[in-house]
Amino acid sequence: MIADAALFAARAHAGQIREDSREPYINHLAEVAAFLAALEPFDPVLVTAGWLHDVVEDTSFTLEDIRTLFGADVAELVNDVSDPPDLKGKVRRDRQVTHTMESGPRVKLLKLADKTSNVEELTGLPAARFDRKGNERYLKWARRVVAVCRGLAPELEARFDRAAERLEGEIAEAKAREKPGKHGKSKTSRRKGSPKKEKKK
């Protein structure tokens, strides 16, 4: 089942790249699945959902497709970690924190793995691709989500904390480099012309 999920994810996310690192999106899914396999090697439902956790939000495949191919337990877990499509911005972020807090261990572990992978992606980027404001906002949100997941996987939590501290330092350095222009606004601007990419969840 896990191998089939990896192949399905590669097909579903073909051509997608990560928002900041510009690596193939499948790399993120492989990392999340690897984190989960290390934590729960005898839980194929959890590891399979790690490969598939962004399918519903980011591809044309549906929850029913996942249920048909991988079973009800996997589909339910993927649904639990997927944001409702009608929620945006702060409402979506707040709902994810609350929903994760109220969910079971599988959801918490998957969210912890997802946020760890995402925060690690943001560290060490070239200055031209470092979105200081966006990364600062994402880090604050990721910490809120991870805060309600703690107590299940101390080693992965520590890995998240190390990545978060590195990113926090890089954000501080980016702030120090910014030079105010007219009216005290930063001269830095959002990058343009980047290829199609998937946003961090």
**Which residues are tagged catalytic?**
57-58
CB contact at 8 A, 139 and 79: no
In Å, how far are 2, 30, 81 from 26, measured between CA atoms?
14, 6, 18
- Whether the CB-CB separation of 49 and 69 falls below 8 Å is answered with no
CA gap 181, 31 in Å, rounded: 40
- In Å, how far are 113, 169, 183 from 129, measured between CA atoms? 23, 16, 25
Rounded CA-CA distance 132/114 in Å is 20
Residues 6+ apart with CB under 8 A from 195: 17, 22
Nearest to 107 by CA among 168, 169, 40, 22: 40
Structural contact between residues 57 and 82, judged by C-beta atoms closer than 8 angstroms: yes
